[in-house]
Structure 1
């Protein structure tokens, strides 16, 4: 019976040892609980699980508790005290009392206490740092401005640590260029005296080294008054033909454009055909076809464009083309019987001798050098000039007769 009692006492002691951690050492040999691992700071990313380690040796029957930065009791032993289900105690090993915070948030940051209810209380501090990826909290949004104005783009960002902001231009209208950094780093971008060539997509990029980075795209639209251009300002075309008049209009927005003739707007009909072609982002070609030209179609045409910022126009002259025909030339021409041959050219000092009579020389004077036109000759000098002029082509008898009349008049 005595052996049975001793056996029960042994089993009871073993049960108490295993269940309550009673030491088999004497009172003087029981070791006090202690933190055998130095406390370390913990950095976690928002949205992930933060693990705060606490390793204790020789806990015995002592209790282990966790307190948050506000000294609010979170757990006792391995039991959660608060209702926040994100918090739990995980013990991969017997001496581990690790605090797990799932879906950790930035406001979970702070100094946590792992405590042992000894006298006095022993505790170790663990600093939790919760980093957040960058976030775009607010931004300027898309901007529509008039050419020459100033544009201000901005992004308000958040994150831990505070992100840096870089601006990029996408160059969406120039496929030969890649995205480029523009301006200085900062949460604002200002573009002074903006032109149509600055119209683009601009991107605000926030980065603090924690993935993912945050981006925000903003589109800048630049508007301006129309500009009308003609490749030429006049054209000739023959009647019955067809012609096409083109003008280019650069504007933003494209509101109203038309061809006019004699103050009237032209529309598509049997006589006129109007087509519009998109050349690029800002420029369109307004094409006018005029068919079967007649007298009423020739004149001044106007290409006109207008939007909320202004208007512009250019004039184009369409005139008739007339083919020039050169008269045909022949080797012989018929002359009127009344036509008088033009005398040959002679020098003013040329002397004509008649019948080899050197005593009576005759000085010839061409009729086209006289003051009186040839068909109006009537005085003695004119008659003399006519007689001498024709002497070379008339028979000797006529020549002799002319000289006789000449001498008689003298």
Structure 2
């Protein structure tokens, strides 16, 4: 035992190669936001008389040696535990210029060291978003988003409505639609009303959380009136309901007017008007006529107007309201004639991009026809329930050809009448 104790004493006085300090753990890399505190830890065994030094590797600046701080940076301090195994370098209120590699050294020969890297980041922040809030349909708009962060964030645009796509044009003028458009500037060209809504600018630099800001784009356009049912049958004594839908921005003012009574208000008393806002630019207007009478029959205009109307003219959707009665079987009979047969008014509809008009024209049994002004004018036949008639039951009818045929028949009958009376005229002349 005496020999062994002596060997231990000699080794402690004259440390050999096997007694040099060694690193137990790796130093970890650290990522923090600006302003946070950072601590690097270096774990060493068998330190004996050796000393620990801290160096910022990229600048070769010595931070501390042992327990003494060398740098003039007041935010840097050092510490160690009682066993002198765990040595710590503390950096408080970390700043961007603190970013870099930090080295824990032991002054052996050759020098031994471990290294850890510090990343000081700034999470993304959108500091400004610019662009017009209102544009006119068909015009262009530019949306801009300014973001900051470290590293610099990637910026892209998305529609607020999930799944909606953004229409962009390339240099050749070809349009493409994308769910996501990269870049801080978004160019929108030939804007349509469907492109109105919220646009999100999103910034991300790989350090959560990503941030976003929203800009609302409104598209101004003149009203577009859609008549849900153009031919309505009013049952005497019961409510009649007329419905139209108006798309516009700014939201249009909607009024109901009866053609033969343009100065009588269709609001109040038996007439109740209700407007329902379906979307930011779509309104459903309902005119309820209570205790319907035959005097209520006629043409009704659903008139709409906003600042986009040219010369202040209204855009009208027209509904023909016809009278009907209930028979014993609770079936609707429309305009029952003297022969007891059910007839409906034959009318045609002129449709343009923004205008509807209905004009009573002819009488026809069972079917109504609708004409479209776009050439060629092809008739489409419907029964009284507004169902399209099968081909076998469609009359061979065209208003232009019928007018020509009627004119030809009238000329023929006149000629026959003249020819039949001609002999009488000749005999009378000879008698005289």
Residue equivalent to 1:306? 305
**CA 1:173 to 1:248, structure 2 compared with 1: closer, same or farther past 3 Å?**
farther
The 5 A counterparts of 1:257-296 are: 257-261=254-258, 262-264=261-263, 266-292=265-291
Partner SS, residue 264 of structure 1 = coil
Distance of 2:231 and 2:53 partners within structure 1: 99
Question: Residue 257 of structure 2 aligns to a residue in which SS?
Answer: strand
Q: Say if 1:237 and 1:201 are closer, same or farther in 2 by CA, change over 3 A.
A: closer
Cα pair distance change 1:214/1:66, threshold 3 Å? same
Q: Is the 8 A contact 1:53 1:98 kept in 2?
A: yes
Alpha-carbon separation, structure 1, partners of 2:100 and 2:53? 20
Kindly report the root-mean-square deviation, in angstroms, between the aligned alpha carbons of the 2 structures: 5.3
Residue 293 of structure 1: how far off its partner (Å): 5.2
Q: Which residue of 2 aligns with 1:212?
A: 209
Match of 2:358 in 1: none
Residue in structure 2 matching 1:165, options 147, 150, 155? 155
SS at match of 2:138: coil
* Equivalence map 1:247-396=2 (5 Å): 247-261=244-258, 262-264=261-263, 266-292=265-291, 297-310=296-309, 311-318=314-321, 322-326=335-339
1:195 corresponds to which of 192, 197, 202: 192
Return the match for 1:136 from 113, 125, 132.
125
Q: Counterparts of 1:220 and 1:271 in 2: how far apart (Å)?
A: 40
Q: Within 1, Cα distance between the matches of 2:234 and 2:120?
A: 77
Q: Tell me the TM-score normalized by structure 2.
A: 0.52
What is the Cα deviation at residue 249 of structure 1? 0.8
**Which of 133, 136, 140 is residue 150 of structure 1 equivalent to?**
140
Which residue in the other structure is 1:99 paired with? 89
Q: Supply the distance in 2 between the matched residues of 1:291 and 1:233 (Cα, whole angstroms).
A: 19
**8 A Cα contact 1:152 1:188, kept in partner:** yes
8 Å CA contact 2:223, 2:315 repeated in 1 = yes
- Aligned-partner Cα distance in 2 for 1:173–1:253: 26
Separation of aligned partners in 1, 2:119 and 2:28: 11
Moved more, 55-64 or 124-133: 55-64
Q: Deviations over 1:245-277 (max 9, x none)?
A: 222111233242111233336253223121223
Post-superposition offset of 1:40: 7.7
Instruction: Say whether 1:44 aligns with 2:48.
Output: no
Q: Structure 1: how far apart are the matches of 2:157 and 2:100?
A: 34
Q: Which has the higher strand share?
A: 2
Q: Given the superposition, is the C-alpha separation of residues 277 and 203 from structure 1 closer, same or farther in structure 2, using an over 3 Å criterion?
A: closer
Cα drift, residue 157 of structure 1: 3.2
- Paired with 1:114 and 1:241, the residues of 2 have a C-alpha distance of 93
SS at match of 1:140: strand
* Deviation per residue, 1:27-59 (Å, 9 max, x gap): xx899xx99669989443324634164869767
**Partner of 1:11 in structure 2?**
none
Secondary structure of 2:209's match?
Answer: coil
Moved more, 163-172 or 56-65: 56-65
Structure 1 contact 131–159 (Cα < 8 Å) conserved: no
Match of 1:245 in 2: 242
- Distance in 2 (alpha carbons) for counterparts of 1:370 and 1:226: 61
Deviation at 1:123, TM superposition (A): 11
